[in-house]
Amino acid sequence: MDQIIREKIKQVKKGDQAAFSDVVEFYQNKIYQHCYRMLGNAHEAEDMAQEAFIRAYVNIDSFDDGRKFSTWLYRIATNLTIDRIRKRKPDFFLDAEIKGTEGLDMYSQLASTDISPSDKVEGIELQRYIHQEISELPPKYRSIIILRYIEEFSLQEISEILDIPLGTVKTRIHRGREALRKRLRHV
């Protein structure tokens, strides 16, 4: 697959726009999911994922063919989502609640009543709860936890995607795991 993508990128660089649609088809679910996990909601996720592909296209000449395209694309998407989180208005979460994500109700319910191990939170509810807990991590831990455990990148790849030293990735993944351990302990 890497080889096919490499070829497509070459064509895009030569100015063949149609070749880019195969690139989008191939990465759309991954990049959308990444944005969704980073931002916590579908609306912003779609906007940012769209923007990530458009930026990749516009800046394709600055992509170094010797590197992995996926790493470059994930970096664009991650930077966009982190910028978006920084620019959010303080009332954003209130809006999100009004629009009816049951995840938030779910969260307050769980926070107030300790769930014993015998009470299973199943299926969709559990998924929502985990999603909610991920979205509440500080973004610098969130990105690493998502890349490692949902998208299954190695720590070395994460260091390349985020352009931070491997040691920093390790420190942050430790803190991210500890934060989530505390949050998910009662599930």
Residue given tokens 């831990």 in the structure block: 141
Number of Cβ within a 10 Å radius of residue 183: 19
The least distance separating another protein from the CB of residue 91, rounded to whole angstroms, comes to 25
d(CA 10, CA 20): 10
DSSP designation for 61: G
Q: Among residues 6, 7, 10, 16, which is the contact residue for another protein, using CB under 8 A?
A: 16
The reply to whether 42 sits near another protein by the rule CB under 8 A is yes
State which H helix or E strand residue 166 sits in.
helix 166-184
Of the candidates 5, 33, 79, 104, which one interacts with another protein according to CB under 8 A?
A: 33
Q: Establish if 114 lies at the interface with another protein (CB under 8 A).
A: no
Q: Which is nearer to another protein, 8 or 37 (CB)?
A: 37
**Which of 36, 72, 107, 153 contacts another protein by CB under 8 A?**
36
Q: What's the CA gap between 110 and 121, in Å, rounded? A: 10
What is the helix (H) or strand (E) element at residue 73, kind and residue range?
helix 69-87
User: Could you tell me the two tokens for 134?
Assistant: 């991920």
Contacts of residue 124, Cβ cutoff 8 Å, sequence gap at least 6:
none
Encoded one letter per residue, x for contact with another protein by CB under 8 A and - for no contact, window 66-105 reads ----------------------------------------
Determine contact, residues 144/159, Cβ cutoff 8 Å.
no
- Applying the rule CB under 8 A, the residues between 122 and 181 that interact with another protein are 126-127, 130-131, 134, 145, 149-150, 155, 170, 173-174, 177-178, 180-181
Q: Which residues bind another protein (CB under 8 A)?
A: 14-17, 20-21, 24-25, 28-29, 31-33, 36-37, 42, 46, 49-50, 53-54, 57-58, 126-127, 130-131, 134, 145, 149-150, 155, 170, 173-174, 177-178, 180-181, 184-185, 187
